[in-house]
Structure 1
Amino acid sequence: MELTYKFGRGNWRTIEEGNEREWMIGNGIGGYSGHTIIGGGFRSFHAYLIASMNPPVERYSVFTRTQEQVIVGGREYDLTSQQYVNFSKNGQEYLQRFIFDSVPQYIYQVEDINIKKTIAMEYGHNTVAVCYEISNGSRQALLNVVPLFNFRPIGATTERNQLSFEMELNENVLRLIPEAKKDINISFYSSEGTYVSRTLRPRSMATPNYLIEENHYYEFDNRNGSLGLDNHYTPYDIQIELKPYERKKFYIKCTVEELDDKDGFTIAEEYRNRTETLMRQSGFNNNLALNLVKAADHFIVDRNSTGLKTVLAGFPWFTDWGRDTMIAFEGLTLCTKRFDDAREILESFVKYIKNGLVPNVFPDKGSEPGYNTVDASLWYIHAVYQYLQYTGGKEDYGFVEEKLYDKMVEIIKAYSTGTDFSIGMDEDGLIHAGNGLDQVTWMDVRVGDFVVTPRHGKPVEINALWYNALCIMKELAKHFNKDYSFYKELAVKVKKSFNEKFWNEEEGCLFDVVDENDARIRPNQIWAVSLPFTMLDKEKEKKIVEKVYQELYSTYGLRSLSVKDPGFKKQYIGKLFDRDCAYHMGTTWAYPIGAFISAYCKVNEYSAEAIARAKEMCEVFEDHMADGCINGIAEIFDGEFSATSRGCFTQAWSVAEVLRAYTVDVLPYCE
């Protein structure tokens, strides 16, 4: 696997085949750019500029993309690759190659004319640049660039009558103010060419509605139960004349900020250079690890409300969630040596701890966060501990004691005495959670009043995390010269109760939930083996790993339910209700593979054979990272045949946990 992904024409024999591979790049404030490798819109989340108006949320599709036509010798070649209602434009037939290193590059060949098109975001800004490098052939030619604009929330679609803008053209700067939000100013600049009103286009190039690109069909949205039709605003063409044998470089730029004079090629170079700096900083010299470092960067973003870093759970639609952030924390920030970002993330979330609970989700509209999670707070304590394992200096312990420790104490107190969502400690020292319609573990789907995976009671991973948290708090209290007897004594009690109640002798593994024992085989038990502080003997740990391997392992993750279970759902597809019913009922999840690999290596005592197998388990993700979202790892896959990306096309904890397991549990033990 190289650090650069290269795709040729065999990957887009049809437009449908080409649309199955996508790319995305982030801007560090919640916005992003993303499309398919053939340049078309495959889903309503595709655009060159998705701007975050209140970082990292309130994301709007602003600049859909550019479409190009080449006119030479009286013939027009349309490079547009797009599905419409009842037909397609197949511009991918002129696409010679697609390359993705840190930014995407399309290489087109039309007769003897070569066109390179690179898209890059300006990091820290809601700005995108599209850079063109053209080598013209032996005849005079004309390149026609058509910019497509919109202004809508990500994932929505736009009716024709909603595309209303105030517009002003001043030399080579076009300014658009959307009627729907008049405090937004979209600025578009081209360093080359003549702006031509679409109403003046030659008849051969005209469309029925000159100012609107109509009826874009999004196959992805349609297969998920939506109509999948969209429209875009196209007020001007930009025409660039090309003399015989002329070489020309120019760029266009779109932003919702003040338009400055930074060159588009400089933006692309800066984006690449920043990525290279992050890779060097990580210290890795392994290609998979370095590509995962690049993938990890997109999720670490600024949050306006705290002025600190946070983590987006997944692209293209998730915001920053407490549970996902803390699970992804080690892989994204510690393995990559981004320790300053790690501190900011811990400090950012500690500001929102309420009644001992870390927020489950920050809504997209900037309203109050939701706290319906039992595990985020326990993962938070784990994240703090891991931060100290990687850093461990006096200053680092001082930061934890001054900024975080009191809230960590609050978490333990709240869980031991009882807090919201029926979260509390029973007489046996174990934690129970959830009641009625509450969904407080990561298996959290509810459709109206239908709770798909209730897991009310004492979930196995929650109590594994509870014991882990108690042991961590004992260690920290000792370090800070505080009384640690409560944590020590309670941990002993929890260990005894856990062993008595959770072991399922018949299956040779752990119950998923007690006291009303749920014997379904799920991946949650793997954390009872993989966490730093665990409660089971070696024999039981090995049996758990064997059971999970036999019934849940599925190449790109662990199934959420055993294939032998009568409730197993083999595919995640269709309307939302159907997908929700399959989400945690067999669907393969990528992120638990990290815990499984850690547990697998542990119970096999890091033998050469175990490390070799674990290495294979990590490196199969190289195949997936050249599919779906290029250089990303999807949230989920089908349960029966884990191949096609489902859910978010790249997910923070998926990337983070593969990176963590590979660089912590595998590479250090390889020869």
Structure 2
Amino acid sequence: MYLGKADVNTYDKGAGREFLVSNGRGGYGFSTVIGANTRREHGLLVVRPENERQHSVLVSKIEETVFDSNKKYQLSTNRYRDLVYPDGYRYLQEYQGNPFPTMLFVIHSILLKKSIFMPHGKECTIVKYELLAAPGKIRLDLRPLFAHRKNSEVCLDSGKNVFSVSSDDAHGICVTGRGHSSCCAATAGTWALKPLWFENLIYEQDDNSDGACVDHLWSPGLISNEMSEGDSVYMILSEKAEKFTLKELGEIESEAAQRFEDILEQANIPAFSSAEQDMVASSYHLVDDRPESIAPIYTGYPSVDTKASDTFIALPGLLLATGREKTAAKTLKYWSGVAESCGWAMPEKLSDDGEPEFGCIDCGLWFVYAVDKYLSHHAEADPDDRKRLTKALFAVTDKYILGIEGLDVKCADNMLLQMLGADPARYWMSAVAGEEVVVPRCGYLVEVNALWYNALKCAEKYAQASGNAESAERYKNAAEKCGKSFCDTFWSCDMNGLYDYVDPETFKGDGAIRPNQILAASLPFSPLSPEAAQSVVRLCWNTLYTTYGLRTLDPRHDKFKGRSEGRLDQRLKARFRGMAWPWLLGEFITAYLKYNPTRKDLGWVFMRPFNSHLRHGCLCGVAQLFDGIMPYRPHGDVLSACALGELLRVLHENLEPDE
């Protein structure tokens, strides 16, 4: 990833491109390439304190100032109510993203390089400044700005005695306030403690509030360095005091660079293009693969949550396509243990105290999908792992046959899964705006039953493989009945596609064209005939396909809302009434190539727009969702596990070059 002067020579261009670094355990540094924070979640050091569900921004940014020959050059950029000041983006010559974010500032014949990286597994961000060229000595002043707030909030006003600062050595300080503490240290320089408030900073990119977000940040002072050509200084931002020698910092920097190379090397995708390499490298941020961790897949950034359905959807791309089979096995074993503790009903997530929180009906069905992907992909899987995961697959499938009261779902006599009640939390299109359910559904849901048919066929497959003929026959008969009922219930001759849901009382279907039906064509086992599946693909292509995903509603529908704009409730409605989701595009590409295997050229046509997207927004990341109409702006998580995972899966499963 390289950006030149023309890519960052205005505030809007620079502020529209964001970088992300992470420590492999959910802590991150996130800002724009010009250093202007445009979201509440932006910050150089953002961590999740113990026993808290939400991340906190500890250190927001660093104000950098260069002094040369009695002239002052401010390299920082901030957006205030009425102006942009300073305008340090004017000195930014280039940005490079690999192996980690690096900016080059040019002031006449002064070349100052800034690099940002995080040590693996530590709540710590390191910023390195290198003076590559200078006609003589310069002075570099570095002033850290502290927030100490949750990443969904802002400080409404500045105040006295909110923060306190202490120091136990010449190069480091510790700041305490607002229930947090954080540290800032440098490898050289002299601190001058001159407290200062930075007031009325504007975060103009926030999607989650009804007004502009105005923040107030505090700085305890600045550290000054006299530098000559070839000199370097490191700033260490951390939750707890960290002391590194220059040698250790050099080793940490080398390790951070080597991680990038290792991720590319172990991937099962050839990654010939820079865009493919960038996507593979970005998968690092979403996977906690520490030996002592439970190996969760994070939902994305800046949400950094852990959800079962997101994990199982993203796993084939984030883990199997990138060569992390051991991490995939550990993740699936962890979730199988969670399901077993809940009587084989799969929760959506676990609370901080370990209690299961049930959500979507289909979490367990996505688990079966992910287990099948893993076992099919990894023929050399450990026999004990294979046995344990196969047992879990059978148990989860059998649980659905019996019905799951806690999930409000039962298996009807026609072998379709029926949602009892109309709780929107039971399906993924779950937004509620005010008191209005954005997508009211009930009864038989098309994506749930497509996944259910796939689960029954997977159970039949593994029962046969294990030599259990009786169970295999039972699953086979159930799948045949489910498949027939699926076609009889969901097929709509009028739209030549599938109803989104069908009310079991009236057997009337919802005539709105939605993308959930694509799963009936894309999953490994489809209840549809090839002709019907191709009709579903054609319907989704003609009515729902956009550059970056499938729309959540036919644009001809009277409730269609294609852009995220207006009040908060209107933006919530747009998410499932017209905005486009990239993870659904992955399913669409798979479905298309499943029935048109000679048209990989079109598969690449569907993928190529992301080459451009990777150079805007969060660099090298794929956003969670996009406007469903022009100008197709990204929204939600700037790096989404489901979106990135699905694109990587398509690259691995559907678009890998022929031998």
Q: Same fold (TM over 0.5)?
A: yes
Quickly say closer, same or farther: Cα 1:215–1:265, change in 2 above 3 A.
Answer: farther
1:45 aligns with 2:41: yes
Q: What is the aligned partner in structure 1 of residue 563 from structure 2?
A: 571
Aligned residues of 1:67 and 1:147 also touching (Cα < 8 A): yes
1:108 aligns with 2:105: yes
SS at match of 1:388: helix
Q: What is the aligned partner in structure 2 of residue 638 from structure 1?
A: 627
- Aligned partner of 1:121 among 92, 104, 118: 118
Quickly say closer, same or farther: Cα 1:478–1:55, change in 2 above 3 A.
Answer: farther
**TM-score, normalised on structure 2?**
0.93
SS at match of 2:382: helix
Deviations 1:593-651, CA, capped at 9 Å, x for gaps: 111111111111x11xx110111211221111111110000001111125321111110
Q: What is the aligned partner in structure 2 of residue 504 from structure 1?
A: 492
1:554 aligns with 2:581: no
Quickly say closer, same or farther: Cα 1:56–1:126, change in 2 above 3 A.
Answer: farther
Quickly say closer, same or farther: Cα 1:137–1:399, change in 2 above 3 A.
Answer: closer
1:444 aligns with 2:430: yes
Q: 1:576: how far off?
A: 2.1
Q: 1:57: how far off?
A: 4.6
Aligned residues of 1:172 and 1:191 also touching (Cα < 8 A): no
Quickly say closer, same or farther: Cα 1:106–1:590, change in 2 above 3 A.
Answer: same
Q: What is the aligned partner in structure 2 of residue 361 from structure 1?
A: 349
Q: 1:536: how far off?
A: 1.2
Seq. identity, %: 27
Most deviating of 432-441 and 23-32: 432-441
Q: 1:578: how far off?
A: 1.2
User: What one-letter code is carried by the residue in structure 2 that aligns with 1:143?
Assistant: L
Aligned residues of 1:117 and 1:133 also touching (Cα < 8 A): yes
Q: What is the aligned partner in structure 1 of residue 519 from structure 2?
A: 527
- Aligned partner of 2:644 among 644, 652, 655: 655
Q: What is the aligned partner in structure 2 of residue 226 from structure 1?
A: 211
Q: How far apart in 1 are the matches of 2:284 and 2:420?
A: 34
Q: What is the aligned partner in structure 2 of residue 207 from structure 1?
A: none
SS at match of 1:152: strand
SS at match of 2:280: helix
Aligned residues of 2:333 and 2:389 also touching (Cα < 8 A): yes
Q: How far apart in 2 are the matches of 1:490 and 1:84?
A: 63
1:471-482 aligned within 5 A: 471-482=457-468
Deviations 1:322-365, CA, capped at 9 Å, x for gaps: 111111010011111101110111122223222543222345x5
Aligned residues of 1:437 and 1:449 also touching (Cα < 8 A): no
1:251 aligns with 2:234: yes
1:73 aligns with 2:60: no
Q: 1:72: how far off?
A: 1.7
Aligned residues of 2:410 and 2:420 also touching (Cα < 8 A): no
Q: How far apart in 1 are the matches of 2:126 and 2:52?
A: 20
Quickly say closer, same or farther: Cα 1:586–1:163, change in 2 above 3 A.
Answer: farther
1:14 aligns with 2:14: no
**TM-score, normalised on structure 1?**
0.92
1:625 aligns with 2:614: yes
Q: How far apart in 2 are the matches of 1:302 and 1:163?
A: 41
1:355-434 aligned within 5 A: 355-362=343-350, 368-393=355-380, 395-402=381-388, 405-406=391-392, 408-434=394-420
Q: 1:570: how far off?
A: 1.8
Q: How far apart in 2 are the matches of 1:40 and 1:344?
A: 39
Q: 1:563: how far off?
A: 1.4
Q: 1:136: how far off?
A: 4.7
Quickly say closer, same or farther: Cα 1:504–1:448, change in 2 above 3 A.
Answer: same
Q: What is the aligned partner in structure 1 of residue 328 from structure 2?
A: 342
Quickly say closer, same or farther: Cα 1:398–1:546, change in 2 above 3 A.
Answer: same
Q: How far apart in 2 are the matches of 1:176 and 1:574?
A: 42
Q: 1:173: how far off?
A: 4.0
Aligned residues of 1:131 and 1:264 also touching (Cα < 8 A): no
Quickly say closer, same or farther: Cα 1:278–1:455, change in 2 above 3 A.
Answer: same
Q: 1:111: how far off?
A: 2.5
Most deviating of 627-636 and 278-287: 278-287
- Aligned partner of 2:182 among 168, 182, 186: 186
Q: What is the aligned partner in structure 2 of residue 130 from structure 1?
A: 127
Q: How far apart in 2 are the matches of 1:618 and 1:300?
A: 23
Gapped runs of 5+ residues in structure 1?
A: 199-209
Most deviating of 56-65 and 338-347: 56-65
1:279-290 aligned within 5 A: 279-283=264-268, 284-287=270-273, 288-290=275-277
Aligned residues of 2:117 and 2:125 also touching (Cα < 8 A): yes
SS at match of 1:216: strand
Q: 1:94: how far off?
A: 1.1
Aligned residues of 2:345 and 2:404 also touching (Cα < 8 A): no
1:17-28 aligned within 5 A: 17-28=13-24
Q: How far apart in 1 are the matches of 2:181 and 2:581?
A: 41
Deviations 1:558-587, CA, capped at 9 Å, x for gaps: 111111212111211233211111111000
Q: What is the aligned partner in structure 2 of residue 144 from structure 1?
A: 141
Gapped runs of 5+ residues in structure 2?
A: none
Quickly say closer, same or farther: Cα 1:366–1:632, change in 2 above 3 A.
Answer: farther
Q: 1:54: how far off?
A: 3.6
Deviations 1:354-408, CA, capped at 9 Å, x for gaps: 2543222345x55634211111110001101111011123x53421423662464
SS at match of 2:634: coil
What root-mean-square deviation, in Å, do the aligned CA atoms of Structure 1 and Structure 2 show?
2.2
Deviations 1:455-496, CA, capped at 9 Å, x for gaps: 211111111100110111122223334441321211111011
Q: 1:109: how far off?
A: 1.1
Quickly say closer, same or farther: Cα 1:163–1:473, change in 2 above 3 A.
Answer: farther
Q: How far apart in 2 are the matches of 1:249 and 1:170?
A: 23
SS at match of 2:338: coil
Deviations 1:390-437, CA, capped at 9 Å, x for gaps: 1123x5342142366246414432443342232111111101125244
